[in-house]
Structure formats: C-alpha cells, structure tokens
A and B are shown apart, each in its own frame.
Chain A
Amino acid sequence: MTSYTDYSTGEPVVDTKAPSGPVNERWDKRRFEAKLVNPANRRKHTVIVVGTGLAGGSAGATLAEQGYHVVQFCYQDSPRRAHSIAAQGGINAAKNYRNDGDSIHRLFYDTVKGGDFRARESNVHRLAQISVEIIDQCVAQGVPFAREYGGLLDTRSFGGVQVSRTFYARGQTGQQLLLGAYQALSRQIAAGNVEMHPRTEMLDLIVIDGRARGIVARDLITGTIDTYFADAVVLASGGYGNVFYLSTNAMNSNATAIWRAHRRGAHFANPCFTQIHPTCIPRTGDHQSKLTLMSESLRNDGRIWVPKAKGDDRPANRIPEDERDYYLERIYPSFGNLVPRDIASRAAKNVCDEGRGVGPGGQGVYLDFADAIKRMGRKPVEAKYGNLFDMYQRITDEDPYEVPMRIYPAVHYTMGGLWVDYDLQTTVPGLFAIGEANFSDHGANRLGASALMQGLADGYFVLPATINDYLARNPHHEAVTAEHPVVQDVLAETEDRLSLLLAVDGDRTPDSFHRELGELMWEFCGMARTDAGLRKALERIPQIREEFWRRIKVPGTGEEFNQSLEKANRMVDYLELAELMCLDALHRAESCGGHFREESQTPDGEAARRDDEFAYAAAWEFTGTGEAPTLHREDLVFEYVHPTQRSYA
C-alpha cells in the first residue's frame, strides 16, 4: 500500500458548465439553455433533499411549489431546528438602499477578494445577482427584518467591506430566515407535496448505473434502517466544522452525508479551507462541549484591544488608554476592526502568542463597548446588540455593559465541501450539493453575512433552475426497487458498520475519541499550519482510527433510540475526513484566506498566496480508506477581479 501522502494527480477539471460570455449574462444564458420539465410531468419525479437548513428548507419548498414530489430528511425532531437558525448577524444583498456606492459588481468584487481569489468568478457573480431577489422573497414571507422609522429596511456593515449592505433581524437573522423557509416548507408538507422525515439520518448514498438514485437512512427513534429512492438527490447537510470537536456548530451537525457521498464518487474540494471566526466566547475548561459565537456585527461598534505590555493582568478598566493596543486599528487603519475574519483571527492569535492575551490562560482579547456606549448611550447599544450581550452575560457571568467582552477565535464554517459544477451538481450525476455542503462560492475565506445569502440563493433560485435540466435529460423511466443488488449491498454495508460499532464493546466513549481528534486538528490543522505539523497529524490519524475500532464502546442496541450509536457512527466519517483535510492543507503549500501556512507569509506576517502554483480548486477523488486519493485540479480564471495581495490596511 502506498503512503497516504503519495497522492496521484488525475485529469484536471476542464468544464464547470458555466457559460462563456460577459459574467453578468452567464446566469441568464444558463437558465435559457437549460431544458425544462413540463409542469404536468413534474409530479412524476421524486427528489430527495437531505437537510432542512436555509439551503435544504428553501430548496424543498421551492421544488415542491414547482410540482416535484419531494422526500425530505433531517436528523432533528423538526425541520425548524437546523443549525442555520443560530446565524446571528445578517444577510448581504446588493440593494444599494443606502446609496453608498454598492452594486452587484461591488458585492461580486468584495466576495472574490474576501475569498482571497480562490473562488469561481461565474458562481460569485451569480450569487451577487440573486442576493437582491432573496431579500424580496424573505420580506414577502413575513421575515421581520429590522426597519427604520420610515418603515423601510435597515442595514449595517460587516467585515471586509466598506458599504452597508447587511440586512438583519436583531441578532437572530438566521432564525428568522430559517423560519421563513420552514414555514414555506410546512405549507408544502400540508399540501402533500413534501414527505417530511424528521429524526431520520442519511447514512449512505445509492448510486445505480452511475447516477444517484436514493439514500439509506436510519429512523433515529426506532433504529430501523430503510432505503428511499428518487430521480435526483440533493445534499443540504451543512459543513464539517465539528471535526474539530469544539466549534460553533450544533452538537449533532456532522459530515456523514457528504463523506458517504464522497466515498461513492463525489469529489471533495478544498477540504482544508475552514473558517476560524474571530469573535467567540473563550473556553472555560475541559468540560466545554461547544463554543458560542458572538456576532461579527459587534465589530461595528466594539473596539478590539489587548494590553501593550506582556503579562499585564490588571482588570481592563484599570489599564489606561495609552497602555492599550487597539491592534486592528493600528495595523489596518482603513478597515480597522472590520477586517475580514481570517485576518482578525490570526491577529488575535498573534497577540496572544506574544503573551498579551487576557483572561484565563491568556487565550482571549477584549471587545470593548465603552466608547460606543459613551457615543450613542446605553439604550441604542441595547437595541442593537441586547440579545448578544445577554447571551454573553449568561455564559460568562460578566456584564459587557460594564466590563469589556473577552473573545477568542473558534472554528465556525467550512468553505470546502463537495465539488459542484455551475449547476451545483457533484461528480456523481444526479447528486447535487447546496449551501455549506458544497465548496463553490467563498473561496478560501467567507465574508460575514454571506453564508445565509449563499444558502438561500442555492435553495430558492439556483438549484430549482438547474435541476430541471438534469431531470429533463434523465427521465428515469425505470424505477429502482429495494431488491436491486446495489441497494442490497449498500444496505448491508450500513447495517454491518453499525453492528460492528456495537460489537466492539471496548473501553472508550465516542466523545473521548471526538475530543482527541478535535484537539489534534486544532493544533495542527487550525489557525496556523506547517509542513511538519500536518505530517505529524497525518501519522497520528490512522493510529486513532485503528484504536477507535479496537476500543470504542457503544451501549444499547441498534434497534432503539441510541444517541451513542449516532455519535460513534459520525466519528467513523470524521476519522477519514480529518485525514483528507490535513493532506489538502499539506499539499497547498501557500497561504490563502483561512488557510495559513507558516512557510508562506509576507515579511509583515500576512498570508502570501502563490498564484503561479495554486490558483486552482483541489477536487479530491476517494480511492479507499487510508489510501492515497487522486487530485483533480480545477484552474481558476480571473477575468474581472485581478488577483492582488489583499490589502485592508
């Protein structure tokens, strides 16, 4: 067996299906060229949608409105609980309601630049175009966005941009947008157009004659493993940040759906592009089960600082003004506290590494609202951020109106995901990936308030247009049945895997393995990565995997509600995905966006891209557990936004 790092290079990706021509005409052109399905024929087509977040919820509702028969799944007890609900800050749209110089082209430009020139121009431009329709759609659904006294919509600024284009609903924008999609989905469930399976988790993909035709899923209440068939499968199962154990993701967010699809032939792109969010509440101890984000919107009015002197352990309010280092304002005077997330996170790490961090263990920096309260008064600050301040106080027992918040970076979002073409179709025909589950729009770093935009763009507008083309060309006259030998095989494999997990009866819990893997990933594949560190992780992961299958302990049986079994099964996939993330990080010997390789930095410590060698998306093909994968490069072409060293100074 060859070593895992001896990956081979396969055929490059030459056609992403994006039309040629001026970038602002490509989406229209694609929609016009796409074949349509006659409305009367749509009800004969079944589409499986996995996940009910912003992408899945909006896609399920819209496909059902179009007349398709949708079969939808979520592991939560209700589709309303998908983790999109926790998004706080807002959603971007190029409405230019502020008359502050915004435009579709500027949103496009900011996003390509913010992503450190590792995203596709065609996709990003489409995203910017659709952004304006999303706001219209959500307002029509009754999403209660913040409004001004004249009754019009309010906006605010976010990191990495100099216009005010972020629409918000206090600190609960994700919740309100998700409930809008959930309500639209509920309407279709009631109409009988969506067959909803809550508390049901996808465990594998069924591929027949090279096409995605269904999934294997487990009813989490009874433990029954069943097969479901369709003419196309849409994965909207979110990102894989939980591979780090501690992250801002929901506890049960997981990578199983996308990883199983990867094992069945879907290429996985840029797995090392993970976003470490700069403003999270620092951890308090080993008992910590997850990290909580404090919205980036706080950086609009909060000022970030640490003491100038190392080891200054005086309380914040006893440190005089001239002994404070407002380091973001100092290093990046034009963007100040609103630099993009990757830059803010790394700057926080740097000052903490210098020994100037605050709070327990020196793993924190201050986010101070004293000036904002002095300038605006307490009331307006309360109106803008009240719920975030309350949440902070509940968790830390400190009052942020009186003492500055302490924040530290944490894993938040994954830009990488299943490789998709312009139609959001993976390398498995008939398998689509939308929202955070795909890799397409954010490059190496996502700008704040763009995840909600992308999830809803994919689900409400892009997928419903492109899936028509696939279904029209592949009418699938022959139905798949449970007796099909491929179905039998996939089902048996899933059952065997769960039985094995139950049979080991070792002496370590699923969480103990998850914690161990997470710590390893945070150390070697976190905010700063090195060749040597990544090689260490790549040596260790197969050992943990081997130990996992020897020592895992899962109580109970598979034929019942068994949360330990769910966790252990997700671990199986994390233990493979982690390896690919490290390999991808190792092979990309440049720094870009959230991927910072210490060997590749400018003299002043900024990420140094190496465009000559790495201006491509890395799409990995699975060849076997622990086997060296095959790399397919998709060269990125920049016709409109020319790659430069990002400057926010």
Chain B
Amino acid sequence: MKLTLRVWRQQNADADGAMSTYEVDGISSDMSFLEMLDTLNEELILRGEDPVAFDHDCREGICGACSLVINGDAHGPERTTTCQLHMRSFKDGDTIDVEPWRASAFPVIKDLVVDRTAFDRIIQAGGYITAPTGAAPEAHATPVPKPDADLAFEHAECIGCGACVAACPNGAAMLFTSAKVNHLNVLPQGAPERETRVLDMVAQMDEEGFGGCTLAGECATACPKGIPLVSITSMNKEWLRATRKVAKQR
C-alpha cells in the first residue's frame, strides 16, 4: 500500500506544532499501525530528519502506552489500542491524519507523546486498598460472590491509556476515575475506604484540570477495553452517597 500521512510535529512542550505530510510506500496490510510508523521513521533517520516520537511499549494492547488520534478517532477506526490496529483497516492511497491525545490535562512532550502523569496522581489520591505487605488474612477468609468479582474485574481492565480523555469533547477523565473507583468499591476488601476513595479521587481529578462530564458517551465508545458508560453513573452514586455520609458524620 501507498499512503499519505499527515502527522503532528512539535519539537517540545513550549514549541508551536504543525501537521507535516509524509508519503510511505510498501506498507503491508499485516503491519500494525505502529510498524507502519516504524517504517516511516527508518526512512526519516536515513534522510537525516528527526523521526516521529510516539509512545509505545508492549505492542500487545495491554500496557496502555500507545496513544494516537487517527483520523480524528482515539486509537483509530477499530475498537482497540493503536498497537493492535492493523493496516488492513486502511486502503491503498488513503490519507491518514495522526495526532497526539488532545486535552489540557495531557500536555504534549514531543510530537505524538503526551504527559499523562495526572492519571498517576488520581490513583495516588485513593485508587488503592490499604493492605501493607504481611498484613493479609488467608485469601479464602472472605469469599467474594462471583458477580461482584466479575464486575470488579470488568472495571479493573482499564489500561490507563487516556483514550477516554482524548475522545471526550470536554477532556474529562470520568471513565478512567470511575473504572478504578468501581473496581475497588465493589469488593469487600475495598469497603473500609469506600467513601474517602471516591471523594479524594474525584477531587484530584478536578484539580488536574480535566473537564466536566456531560455524558456525551464518547469515552466508552473509544475505550479499547470496553469500560461501560454506566461506570460513570455508578461513580456518581458512590460520590453522592459518600458526600451524604461524610456530611452526617460531621
């Protein structure tokens, strides 16, 4: 296949960026999207030009590092991560736009690489169960009903890629935050910190400059792991419940 790529190039966080156009040839439909970019970069290096910077690591769809907006869609046309998107989803002669995640809470570092440390700080605010090493009871001491365990797992599948934020017209991080809140709050082990967890994580999310949620639903459509939109509703309920409970205790 022969393709025209229009790629966002930006030297660093402070520089202005712009779209640059490149032609790539000899692209096989079995290549992943990132392997297609590898091909471009090999050519750029040999021409003495700066290769396109992009985040990637496992290339198996699980680490959450890759993060490209392709033709306006986070992770491109299929419901998967960019590394698992294959060139068979495109046609010979296509023009493809490649941009970084766009959100004020995810500043660009270079080209297609953005800073997602805000996500880490949301987890640090309460996205854990306090269980210091060595203090654990026997694993079978607390059975967890299978439906609850499955529900927790469904939310725990989040890979923290940030597609939800990139897809959201408001740049909101509700789906990411709610996935962790629901994963932990549904489990008996997570119950003691149920209220502080949701309150602290939501507060941190707001502090990071993510936008508000208007339930546009773009996040759940873009999510490569299928975290459902209802996750946000559940978090809102948890938040309301926690707010009331804390107010009562005062």
- On whether the two chains bind one another, the answer is yes
Q: A77-B115, A172-B62, A561-B109 are in contact. Are A137 and B131 (CB under 8 A)?
A: yes
Asked if B189 is an interface residue, CB under 8 A from chain A, the answer is yes
**Is the CB–CB distance between B28 and A137 below 8 Å?**
no
As a 0/1 sequence over residues 191 to 230 of chain A, the CB contacts with chain B under 8 angstroms (1 = contact) are 0000010100000000000000000000001000000000
**Is the CB–CB distance between B153 and A86 below 8 Å?**
no
**Is the CB–CB distance between B133 and A61 below 8 Å?**
yes
A interface with B by C-beta (< 8 Å): 58, 61-62, 65, 76-81, 83, 85-86, 95, 97, 133, 135-142, 144-153, 169-170, 172, 175-176, 179, 182-184, 186-187, 189-190, 196, 198, 221, 250-252, 284-285, 287-290, 292-293, 391, 394-395, 397, 460-461, 464, 507, 509, 511-512, 553, 555-556, 560-561, 563-564
Known contacts A144-B187, A509-B45; can you find 14 more A-B pairs with CB under 8 A? A62-B132, A76-B57, A78-B117, A136-B138, A138-B139, A141-B131, A142-B189, A147-B144, A182-B123, A221-B109, A289-B35, A289-B38, A394-B80, A564-B51
**Is the CB–CB distance between B120 and A179 below 8 Å?**
no
Q: List 17 A-B contacts (CB under 8 A).
A: A62-B133, A76-B65, A77-B55, A77-B115, A77-B116, A140-B129, A141-B131, A144-B149, A146-B153, A147-B143, A153-B140, A184-B128, A184-B133, A251-B56, A289-B59, A290-B60, A511-B38
Q: Bound complex: CA of A219 vs CA of B143, how far in Å?
A: 45
Closest to A63 in B: B133
Task: Point out the residues of chain B lying under 8 angstroms from A252, CB to CB.
Answer: 57
The minimal Cβ–Cβ distance linking B141 to chain A, given in whole angstroms, is 9
**Is the CB–CB distance between B135 and A151 below 8 Å?**
no
Task: Point out the residues of chain B lying under 8 angstroms from A196, CB to CB.
Answer: 120
**Is the CB–CB distance between A555 and B45 below 8 Å?**
yes
Task: Point out the residues of chain B lying under 8 angstroms from A397, CB to CB.
Answer: 86, 88
**Is the CB–CB distance between B88 and A83 below 8 Å?**
no
As a 0/1 sequence over residues 30 to 42 of chain B, the CB contacts with chain A under 8 angstroms (1 = contact) are 1110110011001
The minimal Cβ–Cβ distance linking B125 to chain A, given in whole angstroms, is 7
Task: Point out the residues of chain B lying under 8 angstroms from A146, CB to CB.
Answer: 149, 153
How many residue pairs between the two chains, A and B, have CB atoms under 8 Å in the bound complex?
Answer: 213
**Is the CB–CB distance between B143 and A555 below 8 Å?**
no
Task: Point out the residues of chain B lying under 8 angstroms from A251, CB to CB.
Answer: 56-59
Q: Bound complex: CA of A503 vs CA of B91, how far in Å?
A: 40
Task: Point out the residues of chain B lying under 8 angstroms from A85, CB to CB.
Answer: 58, 62-63
Asked if B184 is an interface residue, CB under 8 A from chain A, the answer is yes
The minimal Cβ–Cβ distance linking A250 to chain B, given in whole angstroms, is 4
**Is the CB–CB distance between A144 and B60 below 8 Å?**
no
Task: Point out the residues of chain A lying under 8 angstroms from B46, CB to CB.
Answer: 507, 509, 553
Grouping DSSP codes into helix (H, G, I), strand (E, B) and loop, the B interface class, with mixed when no group exceeds half, is loop
Asked if B9 is an interface residue, CB under 8 A from chain A, the answer is no
**Is the CB–CB distance between B127 and A186 below 8 Å?**
yes
Q: Bound complex: CA of A150 vs CA of B140, how far in Å?
A: 11
**Is the CB–CB distance between A250 and B48 below 8 Å?**
no
Task: Point out the residues of chain A lying under 8 angstroms from B116, CB to CB.
Answer: 77-78
**Is the CB–CB distance between B58 and A77 below 8 Å?**
no
Closest to B121 in A: A190
Task: Point out the residues of chain B lying under 8 angstroms from A79, CB to CB.
Answer: 120
Q: Bound complex: CA of A460 vs CA of B133, how far in Å?
A: 6
Closest to B31 in A: A287
**Is the CB–CB distance between B128 and A183 below 8 Å?**
yes
**Is the CB–CB distance between A144 and B153 below 8 Å?**
yes
The minimal Cβ–Cβ distance linking B176 to chain A, given in whole angstroms, is 12
The minimal Cβ–Cβ distance linking B111 to chain A, given in whole angstroms, is 9
CB < 8 Å neighbour of B58 from A86, A145, A287: A86
Closest to A461 in B: B133
Task: Point out the residues of chain A lying under 8 angstroms from B183, CB to CB.
Answer: 142, 144
Q: Bound complex: CA of A142 vs CA of B159, how far in Å?
A: 16
Q: Which of B100-126 contact A (CB under 8 A)?
A: 109-110, 113, 115-117, 119-120, 123-125
Asked if B160 is an interface residue, CB under 8 A from chain A, the answer is yes
**Is the CB–CB distance between A144 and B156 below 8 Å?**
yes
